[in-house]
Structure 1
Amino acid sequence: MNALHNRFLGVVLALTSILAITGTSQAMAASAEDLERNARQALDTLYKSHPVAETLSRDAKAILVFPNIVKAGLVFGGSYGEGVLLKDSEVTDYYNSVTGSWGLQAGAQSYAYAVFLMTDEAVSYLEKSKGWEIGVGPTVVLVDEGVAKNLSTSSLKNDAYAFIFSQQGLMAGLSIEGTKISRINR
Protein backbone atom coordinates (compact mmCIF):
# COMPACT_ATOMS: atom_id res chain seq x y z
CA MET A 1 0.00 0.00 0.00
CA ASN A 2 2.85 2.38 0.81
CA ALA A 3 4.39 1.91 -2.67
CA LEU A 4 1.05 2.68 -4.30
CA HIS A 5 0.68 5.80 -2.15
CA ASN A 6 4.19 7.00 -3.11
CA ARG A 7 3.54 6.36 -6.81
CA PHE A 8 0.24 8.28 -6.62
CA LEU A 9 1.97 11.16 -4.81
CA GLY A 10 4.69 11.20 -7.49
CA VAL A 11 2.14 11.39 -10.29
CA VAL A 12 0.27 14.22 -8.53
CA LEU A 13 3.51 16.18 -8.04
CA ALA A 14 4.52 15.61 -11.67
CA LEU A 15 1.16 16.78 -12.97
CA THR A 16 1.35 19.81 -10.70
CA SER A 17 4.76 20.64 -12.17
CA ILE A 18 3.45 20.37 -15.71
CA LEU A 19 0.41 22.50 -14.90
CA ALA A 20 2.65 25.07 -13.24
CA ILE A 21 4.77 25.33 -16.38
CA THR A 22 1.87 25.49 -18.82
CA GLY A 23 -0.18 27.71 -16.52
CA THR A 24 2.62 30.20 -16.13
CA SER A 25 3.29 30.32 -19.86
CA GLN A 26 0.83 33.19 -20.13
CA ALA A 27 2.51 34.98 -17.23
CA MET A 28 5.92 34.37 -18.82
CA ALA A 29 4.75 35.85 -22.10
CA ALA A 30 6.83 38.96 -22.48
CA SER A 31 6.08 41.88 -24.73
CA ALA A 32 7.66 41.75 -28.17
CA GLU A 33 10.19 44.41 -27.12
CA ASP A 34 11.13 42.52 -23.93
CA LEU A 35 11.49 39.26 -25.81
CA GLU A 36 13.71 40.86 -28.45
CA ARG A 37 15.90 42.54 -25.80
CA ASN A 38 16.19 39.31 -23.80
CA ALA A 39 17.10 37.34 -26.93
CA ARG A 40 19.86 39.78 -27.85
CA GLN A 41 21.23 39.68 -24.29
CA ALA A 42 21.13 35.87 -24.36
CA LEU A 43 23.09 35.84 -27.63
CA ASP A 44 25.72 38.16 -26.12
CA THR A 45 26.04 35.77 -23.17
CA LEU A 46 26.37 32.81 -25.53
CA TYR A 47 29.03 34.55 -27.63
CA LYS A 48 31.10 35.32 -24.52
CA SER A 49 30.98 31.74 -23.26
CA HIS A 50 31.23 30.01 -26.68
CA PRO A 51 33.14 32.15 -29.22
CA VAL A 52 32.49 29.51 -31.89
CA ALA A 53 28.80 30.50 -31.72
CA GLU A 54 29.67 34.03 -32.80
CA THR A 55 31.69 32.59 -35.67
CA LEU A 56 28.68 30.47 -36.70
CA SER A 57 26.42 33.51 -36.57
CA ARG A 58 28.34 35.12 -39.43
CA ASP A 59 27.40 32.28 -41.80
CA ALA A 60 23.95 31.47 -40.40
CA LYS A 61 20.95 32.27 -42.57
CA ALA A 62 18.91 32.84 -39.38
CA ILE A 63 19.18 32.35 -35.62
CA LEU A 64 16.35 31.10 -33.44
CA VAL A 65 16.90 32.33 -29.86
CA PHE A 66 14.97 31.21 -26.77
CA PRO A 67 16.31 33.34 -23.89
CA ASN A 68 14.37 31.65 -21.07
CA ILE A 69 13.08 28.07 -21.10
CA VAL A 70 11.59 26.80 -17.83
CA LYS A 71 11.70 23.03 -17.29
CA ALA A 72 10.28 21.00 -14.39
CA GLY A 73 9.40 17.41 -13.81
CA LEU A 74 9.05 14.46 -11.53
CA VAL A 75 8.67 11.36 -13.72
CA PHE A 76 6.49 13.45 -16.07
CA GLY A 77 7.89 16.80 -17.06
CA GLY A 78 7.67 19.67 -19.45
CA SER A 79 9.27 22.88 -20.55
CA TYR A 80 8.10 26.11 -22.14
CA GLY A 81 9.67 29.30 -23.44
CA GLU A 82 9.30 31.95 -26.11
CA GLY A 83 11.86 33.21 -28.57
CA VAL A 84 12.60 35.13 -31.73
CA LEU A 85 13.86 34.38 -35.21
CA LEU A 86 16.64 36.75 -36.26
CA LYS A 87 17.59 37.27 -39.90
CA ASP A 88 20.34 39.78 -40.64
CA SER A 89 20.11 40.86 -36.97
CA GLU A 90 16.43 41.78 -37.35
CA VAL A 91 13.54 40.01 -35.63
CA THR A 92 11.29 38.49 -38.30
CA ASP A 93 9.05 36.19 -36.24
CA TYR A 94 8.22 34.92 -32.76
CA TYR A 95 8.14 31.29 -31.66
CA ASN A 96 7.45 29.14 -28.64
CA SER A 97 9.26 25.98 -27.58
CA VAL A 98 7.32 23.22 -25.81
CA THR A 99 8.64 19.90 -24.57
CA GLY A 100 6.92 17.05 -22.79
CA SER A 101 8.78 14.11 -21.33
CA TRP A 102 8.51 11.17 -19.01
CA GLY A 103 11.03 8.90 -17.43
CA LEU A 104 13.56 8.97 -14.66
CA GLN A 105 13.70 12.72 -13.98
CA ALA A 106 13.26 15.10 -11.11
CA GLY A 107 13.88 18.79 -10.55
CA ALA A 108 13.39 22.19 -12.09
CA GLN A 109 15.63 24.53 -14.03
CA SER A 110 15.76 27.32 -16.54
CA TYR A 111 18.07 27.66 -19.50
CA ALA A 112 18.43 29.38 -22.84
CA TYR A 113 19.09 27.92 -26.23
CA ALA A 114 19.90 29.16 -29.69
CA VAL A 115 19.62 27.30 -32.99
CA PHE A 116 21.82 28.55 -35.83
CA LEU A 117 20.06 27.75 -39.12
CA MET A 118 22.84 27.35 -41.67
CA THR A 119 20.86 26.64 -44.87
CA ASP A 120 18.02 28.31 -46.70
CA GLU A 121 16.23 24.95 -46.62
CA ALA A 122 16.32 24.86 -42.81
CA VAL A 123 14.90 28.39 -42.59
CA SER A 124 12.23 27.57 -45.16
CA TYR A 125 11.25 24.41 -43.26
CA LEU A 126 10.85 26.39 -40.03
CA GLU A 127 8.81 29.14 -41.70
CA LYS A 128 6.53 26.83 -43.71
CA SER A 129 5.90 24.09 -41.18
CA LYS A 130 3.04 24.27 -38.69
CA GLY A 131 5.56 23.41 -35.99
CA TRP A 132 9.08 22.11 -36.18
CA GLU A 133 9.77 19.05 -34.07
CA ILE A 134 13.47 18.80 -33.25
CA GLY A 135 14.57 15.41 -34.54
CA VAL A 136 12.24 15.66 -37.56
CA GLY A 137 13.16 17.72 -40.60
CA PRO A 138 16.51 19.51 -40.83
CA THR A 139 19.45 17.89 -39.07
CA VAL A 140 20.25 19.63 -35.77
CA VAL A 141 23.59 19.10 -34.03
CA LEU A 142 23.63 19.85 -30.30
CA VAL A 143 26.95 21.64 -29.73
CA ASP A 144 28.79 20.65 -26.58
CA GLU A 145 32.42 21.26 -25.60
CA GLY A 146 33.69 18.36 -27.73
CA VAL A 147 31.80 19.43 -30.86
CA ALA A 148 32.76 23.08 -30.36
CA LYS A 149 36.49 22.25 -30.36
CA ASN A 150 36.22 20.70 -33.82
CA LEU A 151 33.74 23.14 -35.33
CA SER A 152 34.87 25.68 -37.89
CA THR A 153 33.26 27.32 -40.89
CA SER A 154 35.05 24.83 -43.16
CA SER A 155 33.67 21.82 -41.25
CA LEU A 156 30.01 22.92 -41.30
CA LYS A 157 27.95 20.15 -42.87
CA ASN A 158 24.61 20.18 -41.04
CA ASP A 159 21.45 22.25 -41.40
CA ALA A 160 21.42 23.62 -37.87
CA TYR A 161 23.56 23.85 -34.72
CA ALA A 162 22.03 24.27 -31.26
CA PHE A 163 23.65 25.60 -28.08
CA ILE A 164 22.13 25.21 -24.60
CA PHE A 165 23.46 27.78 -22.12
CA SER A 166 22.73 29.89 -19.01
CA GLN A 167 21.52 26.88 -17.04
CA GLN A 168 20.16 27.52 -13.55
CA GLY A 169 18.54 25.10 -11.14
CA LEU A 170 18.89 21.37 -10.81
CA MET A 171 17.43 18.84 -13.20
CA ALA A 172 18.74 15.43 -14.11
CA GLY A 173 19.21 15.37 -17.88
CA LEU A 174 18.88 18.13 -20.46
CA SER A 175 18.21 17.97 -24.17
CA ILE A 176 16.10 19.60 -26.85
CA GLU A 177 14.96 16.32 -28.38
CA GLY A 178 11.21 16.02 -28.47
CA THR A 179 10.85 19.79 -28.56
CA LYS A 180 8.20 21.36 -30.77
CA ILE A 181 8.82 24.88 -32.01
CA SER A 182 5.77 26.79 -33.28
CA ARG A 183 5.20 30.31 -34.58
CA ILE A 184 3.23 32.62 -32.29
CA ASN A 185 1.65 35.99 -32.91
CA ARG A 186 2.95 39.13 -31.24
Structure 2
Amino acid sequence: MTQFTRRNLLVLGGAGIGLAACSNGIGSNGAAEIDARVDSTRDYLMSTYPSTKDLESKAAGVLYMPLMTEASFGVGGSYGRGALRIHNATVDYYSAASASLGFQIGAQQYAHALFFMTQDALADFRSASGWAMRADARYALPDRGGSLGTDTTTSLSPVIALVFGQSGLIAGASLAGTKYTRIIP
Protein backbone atom coordinates (compact mmCIF):
# COMPACT_ATOMS: atom_id res chain seq x y z
CA MET A 1 0.00 0.00 0.00
CA THR A 2 1.33 3.43 -0.94
CA GLN A 3 1.73 5.88 1.89
CA PHE A 4 1.02 9.52 1.10
CA THR A 5 3.40 12.19 2.36
CA ARG A 6 2.39 15.79 2.87
CA ARG A 7 4.30 16.72 -0.27
CA ASN A 8 2.31 14.18 -2.34
CA LEU A 9 -0.97 15.47 -0.90
CA LEU A 10 0.00 19.07 -1.75
CA VAL A 11 0.96 18.08 -5.30
CA LEU A 12 -2.32 16.19 -5.80
CA GLY A 13 -4.32 19.06 -4.31
CA GLY A 14 -2.53 21.57 -6.53
CA ALA A 15 -3.21 19.39 -9.56
CA GLY A 16 -6.93 19.21 -8.68
CA ILE A 17 -7.17 22.97 -8.25
CA GLY A 18 -5.14 23.46 -11.43
CA LEU A 19 -7.55 21.30 -13.41
CA ALA A 20 -10.48 23.20 -11.97
CA ALA A 21 -8.84 26.53 -12.80
CA CYS A 22 -7.94 25.60 -16.39
CA SER A 23 -11.51 24.97 -17.45
CA ASN A 24 -12.73 28.09 -15.68
CA GLY A 25 -10.80 30.58 -17.79
CA ILE A 26 -8.77 32.20 -15.02
CA GLY A 27 -7.15 35.38 -16.20
CA SER A 28 -9.12 35.61 -19.42
CA ASN A 29 -12.49 36.81 -18.14
CA GLY A 30 -13.14 40.41 -17.25
CA ALA A 31 -16.04 41.94 -15.41
CA ALA A 32 -18.23 42.01 -18.54
CA GLU A 33 -17.90 38.27 -19.07
CA ILE A 34 -18.55 37.47 -15.41
CA ASP A 35 -21.65 39.70 -15.50
CA ALA A 36 -22.87 37.98 -18.69
CA ARG A 37 -22.44 34.55 -17.07
CA VAL A 38 -24.20 35.75 -13.92
CA ASP A 39 -27.11 37.13 -15.99
CA SER A 40 -27.46 33.80 -17.79
CA THR A 41 -27.24 31.83 -14.54
CA ARG A 42 -29.80 34.05 -12.81
CA ASP A 43 -32.19 33.76 -15.76
CA TYR A 44 -31.81 29.95 -15.75
CA LEU A 45 -32.38 29.76 -11.99
CA MET A 46 -35.47 32.00 -12.06
CA SER A 47 -37.07 30.23 -15.03
CA THR A 48 -36.27 26.68 -13.90
CA TYR A 49 -37.13 27.22 -10.21
CA PRO A 50 -39.75 30.01 -10.06
CA SER A 51 -39.79 29.98 -6.24
CA THR A 52 -36.33 31.59 -6.31
CA LYS A 53 -37.90 34.85 -7.51
CA ASP A 54 -39.57 35.23 -4.12
CA LEU A 55 -36.37 34.20 -2.34
CA GLU A 56 -34.37 36.78 -4.30
CA SER A 57 -36.90 39.54 -3.55
CA LYS A 58 -36.55 38.86 0.20
CA ALA A 59 -32.73 38.61 0.15
CA ALA A 60 -30.47 41.52 1.12
CA GLY A 61 -28.08 40.35 -1.62
CA VAL A 62 -27.23 37.33 -3.75
CA LEU A 63 -23.83 35.96 -4.72
CA TYR A 64 -24.10 34.12 -8.04
CA MET A 65 -21.31 31.69 -8.91
CA PRO A 66 -22.20 30.66 -12.48
CA LEU A 67 -19.46 28.09 -13.09
CA MET A 68 -17.71 26.09 -10.41
CA THR A 69 -15.33 23.43 -11.71
CA GLU A 70 -14.31 20.61 -9.39
CA ALA A 71 -11.84 17.76 -9.87
CA SER A 72 -10.65 15.15 -7.42
CA PHE A 73 -8.58 12.04 -7.06
CA GLY A 74 -8.25 11.51 -3.31
CA VAL A 75 -7.44 15.19 -2.92
CA GLY A 76 -9.66 17.59 -4.79
CA GLY A 77 -10.22 21.21 -5.49
CA SER A 78 -12.73 23.53 -7.08
CA TYR A 79 -12.68 27.09 -8.34
CA GLY A 80 -15.10 29.60 -9.78
CA ARG A 81 -15.81 33.32 -10.09
CA GLY A 82 -19.01 35.27 -9.75
CA ALA A 83 -20.68 38.49 -8.71
CA LEU A 84 -22.49 39.80 -5.66
CA ARG A 85 -25.71 41.52 -6.58
CA ILE A 86 -27.86 43.81 -4.49
CA HIS A 87 -31.24 44.61 -6.07
CA ASN A 88 -29.89 42.78 -9.16
CA ALA A 89 -27.01 45.26 -9.61
CA THR A 90 -23.43 44.00 -9.36
CA VAL A 91 -21.57 45.54 -6.42
CA ASP A 92 -18.51 43.24 -6.12
CA TYR A 93 -16.82 40.27 -7.78
CA TYR A 94 -15.72 37.15 -5.90
CA SER A 95 -13.79 33.95 -6.41
CA ALA A 96 -14.59 30.73 -4.59
CA ALA A 97 -11.96 28.08 -3.98
CA SER A 98 -12.26 24.86 -2.07
CA ALA A 99 -10.09 21.91 -1.22
CA SER A 100 -11.19 18.48 -0.12
CA LEU A 101 -9.57 15.33 1.17
CA GLY A 102 -11.10 11.88 1.26
CA PHE A 103 -12.11 8.86 -0.75
CA GLN A 104 -13.23 10.60 -3.96
CA ILE A 105 -12.66 10.59 -7.69
CA GLY A 106 -14.15 12.47 -10.63
CA ALA A 107 -14.89 15.89 -12.07
CA GLN A 108 -17.97 18.06 -12.31
CA GLN A 109 -19.19 21.56 -12.98
CA TYR A 110 -22.09 23.28 -11.28
CA ALA A 111 -23.50 26.67 -10.38
CA HIS A 112 -24.51 27.96 -6.99
CA ALA A 113 -26.05 31.01 -5.43
CA LEU A 114 -25.80 32.31 -1.88
CA PHE A 115 -28.88 34.23 -0.76
CA PHE A 116 -28.05 36.55 2.15
CA MET A 117 -31.37 36.80 3.95
CA THR A 118 -30.34 39.42 6.52
CA GLN A 119 -28.42 42.69 6.31
CA ASP A 120 -26.08 41.41 9.05
CA ALA A 121 -25.19 38.27 7.06
CA LEU A 122 -24.53 40.39 3.96
CA ALA A 123 -22.42 42.89 5.94
CA ASP A 124 -20.38 40.07 7.50
CA PHE A 125 -19.73 38.63 4.05
CA ARG A 126 -18.70 41.95 2.49
CA SER A 127 -16.46 43.03 5.38
CA ALA A 128 -14.50 39.76 5.58
CA SER A 129 -11.14 39.50 3.81
CA GLY A 130 -12.05 35.90 3.02
CA TRP A 131 -15.38 34.39 4.00
CA ALA A 132 -15.89 30.67 4.59
CA MET A 133 -19.25 28.91 4.62
CA ARG A 134 -20.32 28.47 8.24
CA ALA A 135 -22.89 26.56 10.22
CA ASP A 136 -25.45 29.38 9.85
CA ALA A 137 -25.85 28.59 6.14
CA ARG A 138 -28.53 26.17 4.93
CA TYR A 139 -28.43 24.23 1.69
CA ALA A 140 -31.50 23.82 -0.50
CA LEU A 141 -31.31 21.45 -3.45
CA PRO A 142 -33.78 21.18 -6.33
CA ASP A 143 -35.90 18.05 -6.37
CA ARG A 144 -36.89 16.14 -9.49
CA GLY A 145 -40.18 18.05 -9.62
CA GLY A 146 -38.41 21.35 -10.24
CA SER A 147 -39.06 23.01 -6.89
CA LEU A 148 -36.53 24.02 -4.29
CA GLY A 149 -36.52 22.74 -0.74
CA THR A 150 -36.85 26.14 0.91
CA ASP A 151 -39.23 25.60 3.78
CA THR A 152 -39.98 28.04 6.61
CA THR A 153 -36.96 26.91 8.65
CA THR A 154 -34.61 27.36 5.71
CA SER A 155 -36.02 30.76 4.72
CA LEU A 156 -35.31 32.05 8.25
CA SER A 157 -31.60 31.15 7.92
CA PRO A 158 -29.13 34.04 7.50
CA VAL A 159 -27.64 32.46 4.34
CA ILE A 160 -29.27 30.01 1.93
CA ALA A 161 -27.03 28.20 -0.56
CA LEU A 162 -28.59 26.76 -3.73
CA VAL A 163 -26.58 24.31 -5.84
CA PHE A 164 -27.93 23.61 -9.34
CA GLY A 165 -27.01 22.83 -12.94
CA GLN A 166 -24.64 19.98 -12.11
CA SER A 167 -22.88 18.09 -14.91
CA GLY A 168 -20.20 15.45 -14.54
CA LEU A 169 -19.69 12.88 -11.81
CA ILE A 170 -17.85 12.79 -8.53
CA ALA A 171 -18.10 9.74 -6.34
CA GLY A 172 -16.95 9.24 -2.78
CA ALA A 173 -16.91 10.97 0.56
CA SER A 174 -14.74 13.86 1.65
CA LEU A 175 -14.22 16.77 4.00
CA ALA A 176 -14.25 20.13 2.25
CA GLY A 177 -14.49 23.83 2.83
CA THR A 178 -15.10 26.76 0.50
CA LYS A 179 -13.56 30.20 0.83
CA TYR A 180 -14.94 33.29 -0.95
CA THR A 181 -12.57 36.16 -1.70
CA ARG A 182 -13.27 39.57 -3.27
CA ILE A 183 -11.46 40.01 -6.59
CA ILE A 184 -10.93 42.70 -9.21
CA PRO A 185 -11.46 41.06 -12.62
Shorter-chain TM-score bucket reads 0.7 to 0.9
Q: How far apart in 2 are the matches of 1:174 and 1:85?
A: 30
Out of 138, 143, 146, the position equivalent to 2:140 is 143
- The alignment partner of 2:138 has SS state of strand
Aligned-pair identity in percent equals 28
| Residue identity in the other structure for 2:39 | R
| Residue identity in the other structure for 1:163 | L
- Tell me the alpha carbon deviations over residues 36-74 of structure 1, each in whole angstroms, 9 at most, x when there is no partner: 110111011112222221110011110000000000001
Q: List runs of 5+ in structure 2 lacking aligned partners.
A: none
| Residue identity in the other structure for 1:102 | L
Match of 1:156 in 2: 155
- The alignment partner of 1:17 has SS state of helix
CA drift of 1:78 comes to: 0.3
- The alignment partner of 1:45 has SS state of helix
Q: How far apart in 2 are the matches of 1:92 and 1:67?
A: 16
1:1-186 correspondence to structure 2 within 5 Å: 3-4=1-2, 15-22=14-21, 27=26, 29-135=28-134, 139-145=136-142, 148-149=148-149, 151=151, 156-172=155-171, 178-186=177-185
Q: Which moved more, 1:100-109 or 1:48-57?
A: 48-57
TM-score (norm 1): 0.83
TM-score (norm 2): 0.83
Higher helix share: 1
Q: List runs of 5+ in structure 1 lacking aligned partners.
A: none
- The alignment partner of 1:148 has SS state of coil
- Tell me the alpha carbon deviations over residues 144-163 of structure 1, each in whole angstroms, 9 at most, x when there is no partner: 247935526x9731111111
Higher strand share: 2
- Tell me the alpha carbon deviations over residues 11-55 of structure 1, each in whole angstroms, 9 at most, x when there is no partner: 676653333334666636511011011011101111222222111
- The alignment partner of 1:178 has SS state of strand
Q: How many residues align?
A: 179
